[in-house]
């Protein structure tokens, strides 16, 4: 199953949702797809969706999926990485009125440069279907949280003042 998560912010990501519909319509995607579409106003025709999920439902979909396609929300990306799922990041872009700036592209590029995710959605012809297939066999780097290191540094700093 492919799980698509576009977050809960006030911005739409119709471009991704339409592209998935087109790939299903053309039979390039034949497996089950489920999407959390947030505030997008495009309503998928060829796959199931909901506007929002609670945390337990969200975690279950991430755990059950074979591929996670997500906007460039750090929390969602890390949820996928922590569950060792192949993650395709499809950042919101300002030129499509999907966000106020392109910080999501910068986040996606950072994760991609570390070989933790595949990056999609930068251009008009981004070949999402090819990336879905590649995600299944790609040898991603192992994600290692830096939370403990950050906590140690903050504690060390606080103890020094």
Q: How confident is the model at residue 156 (pLDDT cuts 50, 70, 90)?
A: confident
Is the pTM above the cut of 0.75?
Answer: yes
What's the pLDDT score for residue 158?
A: 87
Q: DSSP string spanning 18-71?
A: HHHHHHHHTTS--S-EEEE-TT-----SSSEEES---HHHHHHHHHH-SEEEE-
Q: Is the dihedral of CA 40, 45, 47, 51 positive or negative?
A: positive
Q: Any idea where the domains of the chain sit in the sequence?
A: 2-160
pLDDT at 125: 57
- Confidence check: pLDDT of 123 > 90: no
pLDDT of residue 124: 55
SS3 131: helix
Q: pLDDT tens across 93-109, in order?
A: 988 888 888 889 999 99
User: What superfamily does domain 2-160 belong to in CATH?
Assistant: Glycogen Phosphorylase B; (3.40.50.2000)
- At residue 138, the 3 state secondary structure works out as coil
**Predicted pLDDT of residue 69:** 98
User: 20 versus 152: which is more confidently predicted?
Assistant: 20
Predicted confidence (pLDDT) per residue in 37-68, tens digit: 999 999 999 999 999 999 999 999 999 999 99
- Average pLDDT across the chain, whole number: 92
Higher pLDDT, 156 or 136: 136
């Amino acid at each position: 199953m492919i799980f698509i998560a576009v977050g809960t912010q006030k911005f739409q990501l119709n471009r991704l949702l339409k592209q998935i519909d087109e790939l299903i319509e053309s039979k390039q995607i034949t497996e089950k797809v489920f999407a959390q579409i947030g505030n997008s106003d495009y309503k998928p025709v060829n796959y199931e969706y909901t506007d929002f999920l609670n945390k337990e439902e969200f975690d279950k979909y991430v755990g059950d999926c074979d591929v996670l396609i997500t906007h460039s929300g750090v929390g969602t990306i890390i949820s996928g990485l922590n569950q060792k799922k192949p993650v395709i990041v499809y950042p919101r872009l300002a030129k499509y009125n999907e966000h106020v700036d392109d910080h999501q592209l910068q986040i996606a590029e950072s994760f991609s440069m570390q070989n933790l995710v595949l990056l999609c959605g930068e251009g008009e012809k981004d070949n999402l279907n090819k990336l879905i297939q590649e995600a299944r066999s790609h040898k991603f780097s192992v994600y290692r949280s830096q939370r403990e290191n950050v906590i140690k540094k903050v504690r060390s700093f606080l103890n020094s003042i």
